[in-house]
Chain A
Amino acid sequence: MSTYRRLCRSDAAFPPLLARIHGPPDALWLRGHAPVEILSRPAVAVVGARSCSGYGSHVGRVLGRELAAAGVVVVSGLARGIDGEAHRGALEAGGTTIAVLGCGIDKDYPQRHARLAAEIAATGMVVSEYECGVDPAPWRFPARNRIVAGLTRAVVIVEARERSGALITADFALDEGREVFAVPGEITSRLSVGTNELIRLGATPLTKTVDVLEELGLVPTVAKPTTRLTPAAERVLSVVRDASLGLDEIVRASGIDAGAVAAAISELELAGLVGDTAGLFRAAGGS
């Protein structure tokens, strides 16, 4: 049984960054055993589209992982798509992540993220300004976004359509003087219209995780691959570093036969060096 706590604005432990925003919540409901102090640790929000592309979910996952590995708290909204990926990435790296809900913290919304929410609560925190039992409603999500922006020093928008909730988060962040990063996307993709527009308006384009870390004055901890790779895996890794490719393309580019490429890919996946979406493989993390 999870324990729920309530943190009032008058409490000394109330995160000062959040207290400073316009219209801060009177209190936060907290789910999870982690100390309240994690709310005040350096945090970055990673948010974006719910129905994201393979590229978006990959970037979300990697950002979550690398930010968490560098000791940054990853804040997001537990939604499908980018939000979920960012949380998962942070959990994978063994880091701390905070999910801000637009409903009561006892509601698992969306339903399919119930398990994810439990995992987040195990090491991090699920928070909301709403009392237990409050149902999700469309108008509560923009309000939730102000807390996402309020808890963090920087907000990264991974993918956003022209009208997207993630852009509301960016607006809040700008109003509060927090840094806004946008992940550049293909100009032909509808999912990148919002983010590319942000960049045009002056948001910092995020090209690697270090960009954010430097902004926060943090030095990234470089994670070196510890496993020794087979020659085939080395070759495949160098091929997918150049572009995301289907397996057939890797076979042709590397000159290795399909069976051996499949074996190499599994090896790289297990080592966390390669990820895939819809059959296209990418080198995990920046080079």
Chain B
Amino acid sequence: MLARALTHALVGLDSRAVEVEAHVHTGRVPGFGIVGLADRACQEAKERVRSGITSAELQWPKDRRTTVNLAPAGLRKEGSAFDLPIALAILAASQQLPAEALGGHAFVGELALDGRVRPVHGVLAVAEGARRLGVERLVCPAACAAEAALAGVRPIPVRHLAEAVAYLRGDGEPEPAPPPNGRPRPPFADLADVRGQERGRRALELAAAGAHNVLLAGPPGTGKTMLSHRLPGILPPLTEQQCLEVTRIHSVAGLLEPGRPLVTEPPFRRPHHTSSTAAIVGGGPGPRPGEASLAHRGVLFLDELPEFARPALEALRQPIEDGTVSVARVGGRLIFPAAFQLVGTMNLCPCGGQGDPAADCSCTPQRLAAFRDKLSRALLDRFDLVILMPRSRAAELSAEPSEQSDPVRHRVVEARVRLADACPPMSTGARGLLDRAVERLPLSGRGRARVARVSQTIAALAGAEQIDSEHVAEALSYRPPNEFTPV
């Protein structure tokens, strides 16, 4: 007897339809085999499915040969999400379920040994795949039902294999899953906590308004990290489309919070500086999104930038430039979205003494040169805003409490609207100033474009009709300082 169940395999961020065929027949030797390029986790489904079926008080086809084929056989299948469709296909093939009941459904889920259905990664992609095929219903783990609903399919939330079987036998629908995003999101760190730091706050506001990359440099303990953490709180909320884009990536990576399947706020990712290149831009045998993609539409925060491996930093140049990462593997090439805003922090020298009036820098020139060389000209050029944060004096820490994030976010949203409208013209005075700056300062062609871009943001934040010289002048102050220009 033969039965089929539809599911989807993840390929990068997308899914491809996979048909699970189960054949239960009287072979010469009883046994259970899975064919169709199934990986280790997928092969282990045998044990889970066998125990799950028994625990659900259903019959494992004894003294029979059970063959499961995952078609197309040429596509690699990874992970445990095939457990549920395999189990159901076997049950249908052994006539414990009406085989036609499986039609019109897609299935996804991992089985526990006691028959419970466990949540899996990438349900959103699977649900989207099902909808593309015109399949209306997705039988999925109850914890993932809200996520599946985002794709516009009707989720059938199941908590146990027995529940799925009951549903397919027509013995009633399982109780519906809780609505998406029932839980409130934890509040962002607020800018009001940052005392003083007028320069840093201003730069952060500009970065948020113009989606500029920021580099904060200064001795340890001057609040670089603290400031960076407050960027997501002043970014505009994601649009509906962007929410889905981000959720899709986070779903595949298994990062969705239970109870809040839809990511509605810009993500903030902070990989450790020991992260490998693959961890940052994505990769692996079955390529998975890296930190750059997880930060899509949000912030990628690299604390202690020069401590990162040079190849990892250089690999970031492509996503910074075109907002995507392309990962080539033997099996093919995948493109992950990676339109993030980069925020980096660094000390001015390896010992951290530079820029601190209270400390002597003990770095040798060679060590200093090696440290600065980590930051290639090309990478440095990608930071629109470079801020030096010298050690603050005691007076600053006792400064007045500062403005909260909300009004800043409000200004940012308004500036974004203005920036989206049209590029304001540059006044003659402003252009003259920019020309003069190119002559007098070490400012490359790319540097000039960068200053022009930032002055546009400054003008938009100010609500100005045109870009004036004061806007260009301010933008000039965010260029990389002389300390970074190897001389």
On A, residues with C-beta under 8 Å from B are 50-51, 53-54, 80, 84, 112-113, 116, 189-191, 230, 246-249, 251-252, 257-267, 269-270, 276-280
Residue of B at shortest CB range from A57?
B482
B54 at the interface (CB under 8 A from A): no
The answer to whether A51 and B365 touch (CB under 8 A), given A248-B197, A266-B473, is: yes
The answer to whether A266 and B476 touch (CB under 8 A), given A247-B199, A258-B201, A259-B458, is: yes
B390 & A270 in contact (Cβ 8 Å cutoff)? no
B474 & A276 in contact (Cβ 8 Å cutoff)? no
**Known contacts A53-B361, A267-B473; can you find 18 more A-B pairs with CB under 8 A?**
A50-B365, A51-B361, A54-B354, A116-B487, A189-B360, A230-B470, A246-B390, A246-B392, A248-B199, A249-B395, A251-B199, A252-B395, A252-B399, A258-B198, A258-B202, A259-B474, A266-B477, A270-B476
A251 & B487 in contact (Cβ 8 Å cutoff)? no
B437 & A279 in contact (Cβ 8 Å cutoff)? no
Docked CA distance A287–B197 (Å): 29
Docked CA distance A270–B477 (Å): 11
Please name all residues of chain B whose beta carbon is closer than 8 Å to the beta carbon of A50 when the two chains form the complex. Answer: 365
Please name all residues of chain B whose beta carbon is closer than 8 Å to the beta carbon of A258 when the two chains form the complex. Answer: 198-199, 201-202
Task: State how many angstroms separate the Cβ of A226 from the closest Cβ of chain B.
Answer: 13
The answer to whether A248 and B473 touch (CB under 8 A), given A51-B364, A276-B481, A279-B218, is: no
B440 at the interface (CB under 8 A from A): yes
Task: State how many angstroms separate the Cβ of A14 from the closest Cβ of chain B.
Answer: 33
The answer to whether A279 and B474 touch (CB under 8 A), given A50-B365, A51-B361, A251-B198, is: no
B199 & A262 in contact (Cβ 8 Å cutoff)? yes
Per-position 1/0 for B5-21, Cβ under 8 A of A: 00000000000000000
Contact residue among A113, A190, A191, A270 (Cβ-Cβ distance under 8 Å from B441): A270
Per-position 1/0 for B185-205, Cβ under 8 A of A: 000000000001111111000
Please name all residues of chain A whose beta carbon is closer than 8 Å to the beta carbon of B482 when the two chains form the complex. Answer: 276-277
The answer to whether A270 and B436 touch (CB under 8 A), given A51-B361, A112-B487, is: yes
B474 & A263 in contact (Cβ 8 Å cutoff)? yes
B393 at the interface (CB under 8 A from A): yes
A84 & B487 in contact (Cβ 8 Å cutoff)? yes
A280 & B390 in contact (Cβ 8 Å cutoff)? yes
4 interchain residue pairs of minimum CB distance: A279-B388, A278-B355, A263-B473, A258-B202
Please name all residues of chain A whose beta carbon is closer than 8 Å to the beta carbon of B471 when the two chains form the complex. Answer: 263
Per-position 1/0 for B228-247, Cβ under 8 A of A: 00000000000000000000
B474 & A278 in contact (Cβ 8 Å cutoff)? no
B322 at the interface (CB under 8 A from A): no
Contact residue among B200, B396, B440 (Cβ-Cβ distance under 8 Å from A270): B440
B389 & A279 in contact (Cβ 8 Å cutoff)? yes
Per-position 1/0 for B387-416, Cβ under 8 A of A: 011111101100100000000000000000
Task: State how many angstroms separate the Cβ of A161 from the closest Cβ of chain B.
Answer: 10
Residue of B at shortest CB range from A244?
B357
Task: State how many angstroms separate the Cβ of A248 from the closest Cβ of chain B.
Answer: 5
Docked CA distance A262–B477 (Å): 6
A248 & B218 in contact (Cβ 8 Å cutoff)? no
Docked CA distance A113–B196 (Å): 39
Docked CA distance A120–B482 (Å): 20
A248 & B365 in contact (Cβ 8 Å cutoff)? no
Task: State how many angstroms separate the Cβ of A115 from the closest Cβ of chain B.
Answer: 8
Please name all residues of chain A whose beta carbon is closer than 8 Å to the beta carbon of B391 when the two chains form the complex. Answer: 246
Contact residue among A53, A112, A191, A247 (Cβ-Cβ distance under 8 Å from B486): A112
Docked CA distance A53–B304 (Å): 23
B421 at the interface (CB under 8 A from A): no
B399 & A260 in contact (Cβ 8 Å cutoff)? no
Please name all residues of chain B whose beta carbon is closer than 8 Å to the beta carbon of A269 when the two chains form the complex. Answer: 441, 476
Of B217, B441, B487, most A-chain CB atoms within 10 Å: B487
Docked CA distance A53–B356 (Å): 11
Per-position 1/0 for B445-487, Cβ under 8 A of A: 0000000000000100010000000110110111001110011
- 18 inter-chain pairs at a CB distance below 8 angstroms, sorted by A residue, are A50-B365, A51-B368, A54-B355, A247-B198, A248-B392, A248-B396, A251-B198, A252-B396, A259-B458, A262-B474, A263-B471, A266-B437, A266-B474, A267-B473, A277-B483, A279-B217, A279-B389, A280-B357
Residue of A at shortest CB range from B354?
A278
